[in-house]
Structure formats: C-alpha cells, structure tokens
Amino acid sequence: MINVNIGVLGHVDAGKTSLCKLLSTTASTACFDKNPQSQERGITLDLGFSAFEMDLGDETVNVASQVQVTLVDCPGHASLIRTIIGGANIIDMMILVVDATKGIQTQTAECIVIAEILKQSKESLPVIVAVNKTDLFPDQDKLEKVLKKLALTFKETSLGTNVTMVPLSCNTEKDNDSLVIMKEKLQMCISNQLSQIKCSRQKSEKQDFLFAVDHCFQIKGQGTVLTGTCLAGEVSINDKVEIANISLEKKIKSIQVFKKPVNSIRRGDRAGLCVTQFDSSLLERGIVSFPGVLKSLHACIIALKKVRFYKSDISSNQKFHIVAGYEVVMGKITLFSSSEQSFSPDSPFEFLSNTDEPTPNEEQTVFASIQFERPVLVTPQVIFIGSKLDSDVHFKNCRLAFYGSPVFSLHEENYATSVLPNLKVFKKKSKEGRIERIFSDDVVICKHLLKKESSIEKFIHLKVVFSTGHEGVIIGTFGQGGKVKVQIKGGVSEKIKVAYPTKKGRKQQGDGPIDDESEVKEDAIKVVLNLKKFIFTTQSKIVQ
C-alpha cells in the first residue's frame, strides 16, 4: 500500500472539515477540530489529519493495488496562512473547497496562488474544486451560472481549463443515501486524478530520510510521539534520527501509521514516530532526519517569481515573512537581474530597486538574495514564499508576494564578509559634466564632471562619452577645482571647434574674456562618465 496526501484548502467556513468527515474512515489524534479552541470558536485552527483506503487497479498505480489517502485539513482563517502553507508543502494533490453561495473569497484566492506555486515546483499537482453547499440552490439555472463563473476564474490561472469541479453538499443532516452518493462521486474524482501522481517511491528511498513533524505529544509509559509526513527516504525501528531544530539525536522505539504498528515508513507515509526521554514541549513543528543531513541556512539566492495578485511593490531592502515548510522567519531581500536563466556566482548582475524597474529585455531573470534574521533548517526541495503576514486581514488583498527555490545557498555564519563580497552585483551610476574649452588638438577641459573634493586619481584612464557621440578618456587633472583633461578619440572634431572657438578667435569676435569659470554655454557639449558600483563589497574601487 502507498500513501497519497491530499490537502483540503479553502476559505473559512467553506466546509473543509465536513468534507474530510464525509470521506474519512480513520481519524488521527489531530483531526476534525478536536482542539478545544477550535470547538469553542467553531473553526479549524490547526492542521487536521484523517484517512481512507481505496482499491485501485495496477494500470493506475504501478507499485500497489491499494492506496491510503491522507486528508490534510488546513485552516481557512486569514490569520493562519502560515499554517496553511506549511500543510500545503506536504501534499500530492489538492481539494479546493469553494462555498457556492459566496464564490471566490480572499483566502480562496490565496489558496489558488499556493496551488499555482506548488504546481510549478512539483512534477504534478492535480487540483479538484469541490463546490460545496449546492443544496442551497433550489434553482438549477442559478447553480449553473455559478459553476460557469468559477470555470472562467480558473481559466485565468495556471490551473487552466482542465480543473475538475465537483458540485456537492457535505451537509451531514442530509439523508444517508445522498451522502453515500456524494462520497462515491468524490472518490471517483480522486481515483481519476491519481494517475497524474508519480506514485513510485523507489527513487526517493535512496535519498536521506526527511520527516516533517506537525504535532508532538507524550504518551504515559511509552514515550514521546512525533507525528508527521515522510518527505524523502525510508526509516525503520531502531534507526537513529536527529531532531534537527534542537540538534538532538534519538533512537526510534516504534512506528505507527494511523494506529497500526509498522516496522518502517517511506516517502509519502503519514506516521507517528515514538522516541523516549524527550520533552514534547521542546518541539511543536520541525524536521526530523538522519544525523548530519540538514544544515542551517543563513541566507540564499532565489530566482524570484512575483505573485501577480500581489498589488504592492517588491523592493530591495524590504523585509518579508519568509515561509519555508513549517518555518517562518523575517528576511531582507536584495533584487538583481541577469540575462542568464541559471545562476552562476561568477556572472555579473545588475541591481534592481524593485521588480517593476525595467530590465534591458524581457528575457532577464530576476534574482533575490534573502538574508534571514535567524538561521533556518530547510529541506532540499524547499520553496520560499515571501509574504506580508502582518497585513490587515480585513483588507481584500493577497498577502503572498513572491516565491522561489534556492539557486545558491549560504550556510556560513560569516557569509556577509566571506561570500557576498565576491558576488558581482552592481548599480549603474553616471556623472555628467560639460566641455569648458579646447586644450589642444585632441584634448579638452571638462568641468562639473567630478567634485572638487573627489580623489580624481581614481578616475584616470576611465572612458567618457560626449553628447556629440565622440568617446574619450580622462588623462589628468586641470587646476584645483575638480576639472579634468579628456583626450578625445580621433581628435577634436569640427563640431566641437565651432562650439568652442580658440582664445584668439574669441577675442577677434569680440566675445570677451574666456577665463571666467561661470561662462559655460547652456548648450555646451555634455560629457558623461558611466560607472559601476558593487553593492556587496566594502572596497572603494571604481570600475566601468
């Protein structure tokens, strides 16, 4: 038997928990709003897990004839978005529950964004849209209009027109026959979608063991149980594992899969790992792995994808809540772009002040360095989602801003001085001056290009461009006022000579004195010095 994890997401009070109750035959210790606060408030406040089994033919699943489906009931309240994202990271399929009477609401839209993000990062993420509460539509025509409107909405997303929509009613007060029909209808849709999931786990079993813990509690006389989902690899009883968040090693005493004792688990399995002499209060959520597998991440670089529903700016030096699995940490971002699709630490990158800043062409890839306020432990397949979780939940705005997987990870604690300075991320800067006079046949004197207090020696041999199209090189200083001598490639042209007559010629024309520094024509020929300033280095070297 293999296990497939299906996330049940949607807006608060859309009927997610009722749908899980309808399908499930096995309940875990955390399901169906058993949390006392959930019962008091009447809403889901934490992840809930329940399961049922399905018989399938070998043509659908190439490694087993039976599938255990684990339903991950995610809360729908706006304030619990980090819990929703954490639950979504462990799923193979999504059921998006939509209230037929209200349509797409704010948290529904955010769940669609999460589905789009996961669909791009996973080999496949089938999505079923369960349109709930259809029993409140006695008029079939009105219901058809609602379904057509929903279909148009999904057509505008990357989920496309092939989203399976299932009209239903999870009202437990309905007669039993109706509920059985609903259940069979949903199971048939799930069965049809399973063929899209790569169910074979052999490749993953060769990887290191990774286990995402979502609940932790003690059982008197047995030990502490860590419940969660196996993300990769395989583990057996008596194997030694590391509770990575607190760097503590423990031996697995026993394993259960929905209250059934087993000797081992593998990728995709929902299980409880029992260890001894461990205080459950030390861990709420986190990662368990083989010892030494995971390292702390202090910073990283991602290929940034902006969420199109996010209406605010994404700018360099902004801070976002970075959600990675069950971890949430503040991170400061720096944006830069490249013409290359893949990241290479030796390539040059142009600094971007924000994602709306125009890039040289549409093929430019936008990267972002994320510097975390504290180290985080992440899995190899992690997706970072940048959000503004402190936004007012009553505003109907998407809080998910961007996402991306690491293309360059920084594990060193001193990365800011050892690694970042080697990244060639530059800002374009330019200085503009004017030609003041002709010095010789191929040299002109320029003013206002540099400040009087500038260390002009650093600018010697740098190239400049004139508004006439000519090119030149700074060859030295002239006087004490910040003026420089510029040698023009090909010599002083007739156009410049006409604009700047010689001293003798000007006296003959009666143009008056020429040594007055305030005398610079408004239409004087401009000279521009283009520079690059590297943002991660402390060196003051000037380059072009």
Residue 543 lies in a domain: no
Q: Within 10 Å of residue 125's Cβ, how many Cβ atoms?
A: 23
Q: Judge contact between 287 and 244, C-beta under 8 A.
A: yes
pLDDT of 57 above 70: no
Using the CB atoms, write b or e for 502-526: b if 16+ within 10 Å.
Answer: eeeeeeeeeeeeeeeeeeeeeebbb
Q: What is the pLDDT of residue 540?
A: 64
Residues 6+ apart with CB under 8 A from 358: none
Q: Judge contact between 5 and 89, C-beta under 8 A.
A: no
> What dihedral do alpha carbons 212, 218, 221, 225 form, nearest 10°?
-10
Residue type, 106: T
482 and 347 assigned to the same domain:
no
88-139 pLDDT per residue, tens:
888 889 999 999 999 998 889 889 999 988 887 776 788 999 999 998 888 8
**Which of 306-310, 439-443, 513-517 is most confident?**
439-443
Q: What is the CATH number of the domain that holds 258?
A: 2.40.30.10
β-strand pairing of 66-73 with 48-55: antiparallel
- The single residue listed with the structure tokens 């057996």 is 236
Task: Compute CA 192 distance to the chain's CA centroid, rounded to the nearest angstrom.
Answer: 30
- The single residue listed with the structure tokens 């058993």 is 34
242 and 300 assigned to the same domain:
no
pLDDT of 457 above 50: yes
pLDDT of 282 above 60: yes
- Residue that terminates a domain, selected from 194, 213, 233: 194
d(CA 527, CA 89) in angstroms, rounded, equals 55
Q: Judge contact between 290 and 205, C-beta under 8 A.
A: no
Residue 542 lies in a domain: no
Once rounded to an integer, what is the mean pLDDT over residues 417-443? 91
485-513 pLDDT per residue, tens:
999 999 999 888 888 876 543 443 444 44
Of 54-63, 75-84, 171-180, 358-367, where does mean pLDDT reach its minimum?
A: 54-63
> Tokens for 524?
């004087």
126 and 151 assigned to the same domain:
yes
SS3 112: helix
The pTM of this model reads 0.81
Burial class of residue 251 (count of CB atoms within 10 Å of its CB; 0-12, 13-18, 19+): exposed
pLDDT of 267 above 90: no
Q: What is the pLDDT of residue 322?
A: 95
Residue 223 lies in a domain: yes
d(CA 315, CA 484) in angstroms, rounded, equals 37
Residue 544 lies in a domain: no
Q: What is the pLDDT of residue 363?
A: 73
Once rounded to an integer, what is the mean pLDDT over residues 400-417? 92
Domain containing 494 equals 426-534
Between 6 and 510, residue with greater pLDDT: 6
Q: What is the pLDDT of residue 43?
A: 47
Of 122-131, 422-431, 474-483, 502-511, where does mean pLDDT reach its minimum?
A: 502-511
SS3 23: helix
Phi, then psi, of 184 in degrees rounded to 5: -65, -35
d(CA 427, CA 530) in angstroms, rounded, equals 11
132 and 260 assigned to the same domain:
no
DSSP structural state of residue 479: T
Phi, then psi, of 35 in degrees rounded to 5: -60, 125
| Structural domains counted in the chain | 4
Residue 541 lies in a domain: no
pLDDT of 517 above 70: no
Q: Judge contact between 424 and 351, C-beta under 8 A.
A: no
Q: Where residue 201 falls among pLDDT bands split at 50, 70, 90?
A: very low
Residue 539 lies in a domain: no
Between 119 and 329, residue with greater pLDDT: 329
By percentage, how much of the chain surpasses pLDDT 90?
44
Q: Where residue 542 falls among pLDDT bands split at 50, 70, 90?
A: confident
d(CA 339, CA 383) in angstroms, rounded, equals 23
448 and 407 assigned to the same domain:
no
> Tokens for 432?
């503009």
353 and 499 assigned to the same domain:
no
175 and 265 assigned to the same domain:
no
Q: What is the pLDDT of residue 130?
A: 94
Q: What is the pLDDT of residue 440?
A: 92
Helix axes 176-194, 16-23, angle to 10 degrees: 90
pLDDT of 1 above 80: no
pLDDT of 41 above 50: no
Assign residue 231 a region: left if phi > 0, alpha if psi is -120 to 50, beta otherwise? Answer: alpha
Q: Judge contact between 131 and 14, C-beta under 8 A.
A: no
Q: What is the pLDDT of residue 277?
A: 92
- Residue that terminates a domain, selected from 382, 398, 422: 422
164 and 55 assigned to the same domain:
yes
249 and 353 assigned to the same domain:
no
Alpha helices by DSSP H, 57-98: 81-88
- Residue that terminates a domain, selected from 402, 422, 442: 422
Q: Where residue 65 falls among pLDDT bands split at 50, 70, 90?
A: low
Q: What is the pLDDT of residue 30?
A: 56
Q: Judge contact between 74 and 88, C-beta under 8 A.
A: yes
Element holding 203 (H helix, E strand): helix 202-205
Sign of the CA dihedral 441, 446, 450, 453?
positive
Residue 377 lies in a domain: yes
For all residues of the chain together, what is the average pLDDT? 84
Q: What is the pLDDT of residue 297?
A: 93
Nearest to 78 by CA among 526, 425, 524, 388: 388
Helix axes 81-88, 106-121, angle to 10 degrees: 30
Q: Judge contact between 433 and 466, C-beta under 8 A.
A: no
d(CA 174, CA 428) in angstroms, rounded, equals 67
Residues 6+ apart with CB under 8 A from 61: 2, 67, 194, 199
Of 59-63, 429-433, 534-538, where does mean pLDDT reach its minimum?
A: 59-63
Q: Where residue 452 falls among pLDDT bands split at 50, 70, 90?
A: confident
d(CA 23, CA 53) in angstroms, rounded, equals 10
Helices (H) and strands (E) in the chain, counts: 10, 32
Once rounded to an integer, what is the mean pLDDT over residues 256-262? 90
Residues 6+ apart with CB under 8 A from 259: 26
456 and 364 assigned to the same domain:
no
Once rounded to an integer, what is the mean pLDDT over residues 347-372? 85
Q: What is the CATH number of the domain that holds 129?
A: 3.40.50.300
Q: What is the CATH number of the domain that holds 498?
A: 2.40.10.190
Between 468 and 511, residue with greater pLDDT: 468
Q: What is the pLDDT of residue 360?
A: 53
**Which of 146-150, 176-180, 369-373, 523-527 is most confident?**
369-373
SS3 151: helix
359 and 440 assigned to the same domain:
no
pLDDT of 521 above 60: no
d(CA 53, CA 161) in angstroms, rounded, equals 29
Residue 540 lies in a domain: no
Residue type, 188: M
37 and 184 assigned to the same domain:
yes
